[in-house]
Amino acid sequence: MTIDTIRRAGALAIVALMMSPQPSAAVSLGADYVFSVFGLPAMKIDIDWKGEGSRYAIDGKLRPAGIGRIFGNIKGDLSVDGRMTADGWKPQNFAMGYKGKDPWRGRAQWAGDTLTMLQTEPDNRRKGGSAWVPLDGNAKSGFVDLFTGMVVESDTANGVCGRALDLFDGEMRLKLAMGAPKPVALRIKGAPKKGIQCAARFTPVAGYSKKSSSRQHLARQTITIVWANPVGRYWVPASAIIPHKDATLRIKASRIYGKP
């Protein structure tokens, strides 16, 4: 399993599953996640979300853990900033990347709801050839980045599920349909004792190769996401299980915090 596989699957999970919150008073949220493969820790990612007035910002750090150190000193970062509007959080600038084995970087910009700039290194469109589904035309409007989408605002636990999320992982636009809410117990520092579990189905939309066996496999699987409610009406992912083609990826928060 490559770092690109873990990045995409991890982003899919973490994020994956989310919808941008409505504007409100100042809020600060954060979570520290551990990514495990074959039951062994491979990576850690710490994410902070901060919103105040009409602006929000997201910062994150990626670092190796456990067996991840075997594959090189992989380190990464992410940043997003945008506007808090009546229709939710709208990203304007997105940057994500990592260095080490199989390095990757991506940058994107939006004007309103439309993607106006996208750069990735490497550019996987060349490898996709005629099987590549381009992220252009009408496909460039109506979605947010995964990390903006990692927060759900809901008055009830069941309200977290039952929605379709339109997201962007730095290269690919995807849809996640969530449903089947189920109350579950949580044992995470800073999190409440109870959360809500959702079942999610993945559909690639644009910015991917139709020849990708990983995408085809994932589209046939069910992703399990558990959400926690650390403050107010805000929910963030507490854990996720992604049945990837090569190995099941598990993501779990070791700490969650929220302050109004």
The Cα–Cα gap between 53 and 85 comes to: 10
Show pLDDT as tens, one digit a residue, over the chain (260 residues). Answer: 555 555 555 554 444 334 334 444 688 999 999 999 888 888 899 999 999 989 999 999 998 887 767 666 778 999 999 998 877 889 999 999 988 778 899 999 999 999 999 999 998 887 778 899 999 999 999 999 999 998 888 899 999 998 888 999 999 999 999 999 999 999 999 999 999 999 999 999 999 999 999 899 999 999 999 999 999 888 999 999 999 888 899 999 999 999 88
Q: Where do we find the tokens 């750090």?
A: 61
Strand, helix or coil for residue 248: strand
Say how many domains are in the chain.
1
pTM comes to 0.85
**Residues contacting 216, CB < 8 A, separation 6+:** none
Structure tokens at 259: 């302050």
The Cα–Cα gap between 160 and 46 comes to: 22
- Write b or e for each residue in 45-70: b if 16 or more Cβ atoms lie within 10 A of its Cβ, otherwise e: bebebbbeeeebebbbebbbbeebee
Domain of 255 in residue numbering reads as 3-259
Q: What are phi and psi of 170, to 5 degrees?
A: 110, -20
Q: What are phi and psi of 167, to 5 degrees?
A: -130, 170
